[in-house]
Structure 1
Amino acid sequence: MLNIPIIRFTILISCLFIYPSLVLADEDAGRRLWHNVQRNLQDQEKELVTDETVNENTDHLSIVLNGQTFSVENNVNEVGQALYLSINHQQVKDVERFLLMYQKLPRHDMQLVHFAQANLARSQGNLVAAEQHYQAILHQQPDFTRAKLELARVYYENQKNKEAGLLFNEISAANHDNENKLPPAVIKNITSYQDAIELRNAWRGSFAVGYIFNDNTNMSPNKPPVCKEYAENGSCIVERKLPLAKKANGISYDATLRKIYQLSGHHGISLRSMTYGESYRNHSDENENTTSAYLGYNYKAQKNDFLIGPIIEFNHVGNHSRYRTTGMKTEWMNILSKNLALNLEGEYKQFRYHKLYNHNDGNMTSVYATLSYYLTDQTITFTGGDWVNKTSVEKTDDYQQKGIRAGISTQLYPGINAVVFTALRQRQFGDYSVPLSARRKDNEQLYSAILSMPKFDVFGLTPVITYRYRKNNSNVDWLYSYNKNEVLIKFEKYF
């Protein structure tokens, strides 16, 4: 028998070369960053703006004021006075009751009727009607400071920041030149609105940096070698061997920046940019960064926030460019009720890869829907779904993704907040792959827990601890199934 040397082959498969799941950066990370920035801005606005009730002392009123009951005579003067005081004390039921009485009386003042109707419209969330009533008053009585003040507040609540700012400034300037000064509570209230408008118009953003540990940076199945072909003597001549899971620690970071340039009314131009990524110690080939920028039209009202415009994105892996995208992005948030909000997002992107990976060139269309419900001011539940369609040069790498997600955000203790989040996704690929002997199908699970502790901030930086677990089950198990755990300890700052 001839002594034929046994030739041993080792098949090393690079995950970056044929792993379509790595085609995209972590979409959840970018969307989560923007949602956090938006909510932080809303919280800061609420802290700044608190309406002060203007109290006026009168006698002989048929109304409950500060726990005391006063009688009202059925004449235009006393009913009108009761109506005005009901407005000042924000007693909506009394405003409704006295307004009906007042309108039936002869020689009633239409200015007071408009004032009451505007107050009711504002309390019911109908800011367009409230604005019209206040403007009708000022058309007849341009120097009515109280109507100006209420109209400025309505402008602010309806996101007409430019108009609100001009009117608040006008009131402040007139007050300096007027002998009859406004009450200190009103001056304080005007200042708080001016500060909130300045906050809305300023450059806003966030940054965070900290430690990350990842037990599977390369998303490896982490399985031992498998012999695919044996020699007659039983030794292996063709072995399938994949890189084992790489454990690494390093630095995780993210930053956002946004600004809205108000044009007029509800219309403006929105500019925002974002970058996030990881840099691993002794594993620089696993470093990743994603940077994006958006510039587009923004329509913002009391219950609607809509934007649309072009977006560009760059992705780097191992300190080398992997892809860039250009496309369009649109978002719409609608406040359905006091406790319920709907958020819809859509994107269309064209992917252009580095020449080593240009078989992944193609287009991606994605749609995300999220429904948020406020159980309390401190507790929000959310659920949603997503659909993604990605095309590639190789049809076997095309895929459609469908997913659902749910979570809850709450305050555990004053200054300690928590978010628990889960997502389930199914990814169905295009054509049958001859090398894989299968038409690939993946089921992905993601679980995340975030603990934010502003109570223990350090130099204005809030400590945030995050744990993420990702599990992917694939019918091509030997190549695409994996588990991954990540722990992040960051310090973040919103400005």
Structure 2
Amino acid sequence: MKYRLFLLPLLLLSLPARADNEDTRLQLRYGIEERQQRQEGETVGDLSFGAAAPQEDDNLPTALMKAVNAQNEGETLRLLEIYKAQPDADPDMVLFAEANLAVFRDDLPGALARYRELYARNPQFVRAKLDLARLLFVDKQNRESAALFGSIDIPERPAVNEKIKGFSDALSKRDAWSGSLSVGLGHDSNLNRSSAATMLREQQSCGFDSNGQPILDANGNFTCRSEWLPMKTPDALSGRMWAYEAAVSRRLSLKGHHGIQFSGYALGKIYPGNRDYTEHSVSLSPAYSFQNKDTSFSIGPQIQYDWVGGKMQDSNAGVSVSYNRTFADKASLGVQIEHKYDRYRSGYEHFNGPQSLLFATGVYVLPKNWVLFGGYDFLRKNSREKVDSYRRHGLRGGISKRFDSGIEATFQTIWRKTAYQDFHAWLDTRRKDSERTYQLDLKLNRPALRGFVPILSLKHTDNRSTSWVNRYKRNEITFKLQYGF
């Protein structure tokens, strides 16, 4: 009996590959942001400029200043009320104390307003100038903060000068290029995402059957008859692979909270023994950017190109919007929305059409370097025909732990359900997929490695589908060396 090999590369490759790339770009983006925050914390350290302990013989202004330095809200408020009642109370000192009380109460706009008023009244009040520069740093008003820090020099206080240098260096890094590059070798158990399945399908044969024998009626004339023929998808291909991931990002600060941001990503998997399945993806996105202490927002155009087997498979262009909010430095919520138009090549133009994507991600920092994260994603893809259009819903969750030894372990799982919008006649079903992905990443981040981070990744994917063609299981193991800058 003859088998018919069923091949539909886009049906097998397009949807899972795109989902993988979306997840990877999201991970790279958050990796850059987390590394920037960690490096900034190491550069600046404690945001204060030091404090002296109060003494019993301190006069009232000195005691008030020391209470402010110690960030003692109750004592500052008590001493301020006494100080304001003095006939010789200095208005600048009163404004300074009130600004710090606003800081203690997390009223950053109020604190900045009072410090700006104080700086306008008395530009020679160095401590107020330092605090204003520091608060502008916290509020991500980078240009103004850098200008103030650059105008301060206190030779008699070398420790303070060193702290100023730390702030200035951190501000320079905020406007510098940052990113990561990783290259590694791995193994893929099912690189063509094949179900390796066989199915009997009824087919009408006329004149000759599937074995080449004539089909004759009782009178010896050619006729037609139904045959049940086995249809087979390709065998699952396994083999070694080279994998690479590159990400770059830069934000140029403008006036106030505003800026211009650029980001780019390049991802790929190269299969030396199966080059027809090699994948590359490149995306670029310039954007307007707004940032303050707890919030960031960006909006701008985005373009993306994807290659499979050495040929361009598709490209798309559209707009991307991103919003992030942090809460008490322990939790954050990020939302990314994209809308773009897909253009396919090589006879697959019927997949052309718009797609809309939503990613929502929450992160919560626990004690002892534990981090919980999770989120929801939604994709709506419209093609020329409803049978090629689909909706996808996904849930993501994971946990990460950084150990004192420098090892960081991250486990995450992704559940996604995809529903196509019309009945597929050949598959004899309205396709619905349920995909489960489990991934464990182990990183070793040690100073002795000079910025290079070895990463071992284990990934298992199980895609269950109403379509016999699209059911598959896949295991990947990759060892990569990553360098962040």
TM-score (norm 1): 0.89
- Among 421, 425, 435, the alignment partner of 1:430 is 421
Between the two proteins, what is the percent identity of the paired residues?
Answer: 29
> Could you say what secondary structure the match of 1:432 adopts?
coil
Equivalent position of 1:24 in the other structure: 18
Residue 281 (1) aligns with residue 272 (2): yes
Q: Deviations over 1:280-314 (max 9, x none)?
A: 12111111011000011000100101000000000
Equivalent position of 1:353 in the other structure: 344
Equivalent position of 2:246 in the other structure: 255
2-structure distance, mates of 1:29, 1:407: 15
Change beyond 3 A, Cα 1:18–1:205: closer
Q: CA deviation at 1:260?
A: 0.8
CA contact (8 A) 2:13 2:193 kept: no
- Among 114, 118, 131, the alignment partner of 1:137 is 118
CA contact (8 A) 1:310 1:326 kept: yes
Equivalent position of 2:60 in the other structure: 79
Cα RMSD (Å) of the superposition? Answer: 2.4
Equivalent position of 1:194 in the other structure: 168
1-structure distance, mates of 2:358, 2:254: 29
Q: Deviations over 1:139-167 (max 9, x none)?
A: 22111111111111011111011111111
Superposition pairs of residues 137-156 of structure 1, within 5 angstroms: 137-156=118-137
Q: CA deviation at 1:79?
A: 3.3
Superposition pairs of residues 88-487 of structure 1, within 5 angstroms: 88-172=69-153, 175=154, 181-223=155-197, 225-228=198-201, 238-376=229-367, 378-455=369-446, 458-476=449-467, 478-487=468-477
1-structure distance, mates of 2:190, 2:125: 67
Q: CA deviation at 1:83?
A: 1.3
Aligned residues: 465
> Could you say what secondary structure the match of 1:129 adopts?
helix
CA contact (8 A) 2:13 2:192 kept: no
- Among 10, 18, 30, the alignment partner of 2:4 is 10
CA contact (8 A) 1:328 1:349 kept: yes
Equivalent position of 2:35 in the other structure: 40
CA contact (8 A) 2:451 2:484 kept: no
Amino acid at match of 1:491: L
> Could you say what secondary structure the match of 2:152 adopts?
helix
| Structure 1, unaligned runs of 5 or more | 1-5, 62-71, 73-77, 176-180
1-structure distance, mates of 2:416, 2:87: 68
Amino acid at match of 1:38: E
Q: Deviations over 1:376-397 (max 9, x none)?
A: 3622111211111000112111
2-structure distance, mates of 1:486, 1:464: 14
TM-score (norm 2): 0.90
Q: CA deviation at 1:45?
A: 0.3
1-structure distance, mates of 2:4, 2:234: 11
Q: CA deviation at 1:117?
A: 2.0
1-structure distance, mates of 2:100, 2:35: 29
Amino acid at match of 2:288: Y
CA contact (8 A) 2:386 2:421 kept: yes
Equivalent position of 1:178 in the other structure: none
1-structure distance, mates of 2:379, 2:124: 56
